[in-house]
Amino acid sequence: MGGAGNIICIGAVNLDRTYRVENVVKEGEAMNCRGYEESWGGKGLNQVVALRCAGEHPIFITKVGQREESSLRELLASKGVDDSHIVPVNGYTNHGVIQMTPQGRTAIIGVPNDEVSFTPEEIGALMEGISWEDTLLLQNEIAHVPEIIRLAKEKGCTVVLNPSPLCDGMREWPLEEVDILILNEAEGQALSGEMLVEEILAALHRRCPKSRIVLTLGERGSIFSNGVERIEQPSVPAEAVDTLAAGDTFTGYFLAVYEKTGDAAAALETAAMAASMVVGRRGAAEIIPVMEEVTGRSLLYN
């Protein structure tokens, strides 16, 4: 766990554009969509909202296009997230072009804008305000993440990394500096070079001997491993409508409960329950449940 400081996320926001299709369009194929929606997402935003819904008061540092600034601030206000670290920039906000089938399966094209990433100089200034008591949550939707990890560890703070989306060269990142690595099976395979769960965990622990690893396995549940202790959590059955923010909800809820209690089993269980609720809803950041909902469903489920 981190210290008694803040949970800080330096991350990105996306304005997701979702096209509902009968099936994911193949090369050379054309079809009309069955519906269209816009919703706020992005891994940084989703995870921060999940943290807040789970009872934490995270600090979110991000950039957004000026045209979408007021909409983002309205969403953050509705969720009780402080918007004082939002930086408006010229140009468009990162957005995703999402094909979604009736079964909730997705195919996503990310459309990034370099202007909404932080420069090395800006990152250096931001890190000046972070203390050893803080926990820093990162994803891979902004630039210079390896440098942020190094600077954070120089400060002595706890680093939590969700290495998504994957990119070339990520295996060369200073992953051994990460305190908590939260990743799915495909990401684990890519970073470890292994295909089976046992080999993935073993390879990651060799690479990151001090890290606590949370490996999510979709319908097969999730695993917490620190190299000595191992905890397995089955998935919670749910009828999938939209899987878009499920992984981010899991990350935010796991971190919130683990920070408060140090109980990995409770954190996995709560995160699994919250993620199962999200897959039954359409949308991203705006549909993440609050802790009271998650607790209530957990009582019914158990």
Provide the domain limits for residue 127: 7-13+42-91+117-299
243/281 Cα distance (integer angstroms): 8
pLDDT score, position 300: 66
239 assigned to some structural domain: yes
In the prediction, which pLDDT does 117 show?
85
Q: What is the pLDDT of residue 98?
A: 87
CATH number of the domain at 242, please.
Answer: 3.40.1190.20
Per the structure, the count of domains in the chain is: 1
Q: What is the mean pLDDT of each run of 10 residues along the chain (302 residues)?
A: 78 90 93 91 95 97 93 95 93 86 84 85 94 96 95 96 95 97 97 97 97 96 96 90 86 98 97 93 87 83 65
What pLDDT does 58 receive?
97
Residues 139, 183: Cα–Cα separation, whole Å: 10
Q: What pLDDT sits at residue 2?
A: 46
- Residue 121 is assigned to a structural domain of this protein: yes
107 in a domain, yes or no? no
pTM score, whole prediction: 0.90
Cα 255–259–264 angle (5° rounding)? 70
- Which DSSP string do the residues of the chain spell out, in sequence order? ---SS-EEEE---EEEEEEE-SSPPPTT-----SEEEEEEE-HHHHHHHHHHHTT---EEEEEEEGGGHHHHHHHHHHHT---TTEEEESSPPPEEEEEE-TTS-EEEEEE--GGGSPPHHHHHHHHHT--TT-EEEE-SSSS-HHHHHHHHHHHT-EEEE---S--TTGGGS-GGG-SEEEEEHHHHHHHHS--SHHHHHHHHHHH-TT-EEEEE-GGG-EEEE-SS-EEEEPPPP---S--TTHHHHHHHHHHHHHHHH--HHHHHHHHHHHHHHHTTSS-SGGGPPPHHHHHHHHHHH-
Q: Is the residue at 21 inside a domain? A: no
**Is 103 part of a structural domain of the chain?**
no
Give pLDDT, residue 160.
Answer: 98
Contacts of 135 (CB under 8 A, 6+ apart): 2, 3, 5, 6, 7, 8, 157, 158, 159, 160, 255, 259
User: Long-range contact list for 204-212, CB < 8 A, 24+ apart?
Assistant: 207/175, 207/176, 208/175, 208/176, 208/178, 208/181, 209/176, 210/176, 210/179, 211/175, 211/176, 211/178, 211/179, 211/180, 211/181, 212/179, 212/180, 212/181, 212/264
- Which is nearest to 9 in space by CA: 279, 267, 256? 256
- For residue 225, being part of any structural domain is answered with yes
Tell me whether residue 282 is in a domain: yes
Q: Is residue 111 part of a domain?
A: no
pLDDT at position 302: 61
